[in-house]
């Protein structure tokens, strides 16, 4: 089976790859242009979810009998949750020390 029937139209691997590329591009844009640490963390999570969509879609169309894409997606979601927890802890610690959450205001982090 090379395509899925959603609402009467055929959706193939290309549609999921394009969606993943768009989400990843939005995430890259957010990481490179935003100054608030929470917005940067949200952009990183958006990039991680684009990767998950890509892996599951490739698994569905290339090797549907294997579950490796699904296992990788579950591992990536657990990793993203841990990353988000650590990132928020760092943001809270930096906010308590500098009373700001803007990336450009953290002079002591520059080496």
pLDDT digits (tens, 9 = 90+) for 65-85: 888 888 888 998 899 889 889
Q: Domain for residue 62, yes or no?
A: yes
Q: What is the pTM of this model?
A: 0.77
Task: Give yes or no for a contact between 28 and 48, defined as CB atoms under 8 angstroms apart.
Answer: no
**99 Ramachandran zone, left/alpha/beta (phi>0; psi -120 to 50):** left
Q: Domain for residue 71, yes or no?
A: yes
pLDDT at residue 1, as a whole number? 47
Q: Domain for residue 111, yes or no?
A: no
Q: Domain for residue 27, yes or no?
A: yes
Task: Provide the residue range defining the domain that includes 40.
Answer: 8-106
Q: Domain for residue 94, yes or no?
A: yes
State the chain's maximal CA–CA distance in angstroms: 57
Question: Per DSSP, what are the bridge partners of residue 54?
Answer: none
- What's the rounded Cα separation, in Å, for the pair 99 and 81? 25
- CATH number of the structural domain spanning residue 14: 1.10.287.3510
Say how many CA atoms lie within 13 Å of 52 toward its Cβ.
Answer: 16
What pLDDT digit, counting tens, does each position of 11-61 carry?
788 999 999 999 999 999 999 998 888 899 999 999 999 999 999 999 888
- What's the rounded Cα separation, in Å, for the pair 93 and 3? 48
Q: Domain for residue 18, yes or no?
A: yes
Helix (H, G, I), strand (E, B) or coil at 5: strand
Q: Domain for residue 2, yes or no?
A: no
Q: Domain for residue 1, yes or no?
A: no
The domain total for the chain is 1
């Amino acid at each position: 089976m090379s395509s899925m029937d959603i609402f009467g139209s055929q959706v193939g691997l290309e549609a999921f790859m394009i969606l993943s590329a768009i989400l990843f591009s939005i995430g890259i844009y957010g990481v490179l242009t935003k100054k608030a640490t929470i917005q940067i963390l949200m952009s990183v999570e958006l990039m991680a979810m684009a990767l998950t969509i890509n892996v599951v879609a490739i698994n569905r169309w290339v090797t549907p009998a294997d579950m490796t894409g699904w296992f990788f997606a579950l591992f990536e979601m657990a990793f993203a949750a841990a990353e988000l927890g650590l990132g928020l802890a760092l943001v809270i610690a930096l906010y308590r020390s500098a009373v700001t959450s803007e990336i450009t205001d953290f002079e002591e982090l520059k080496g």
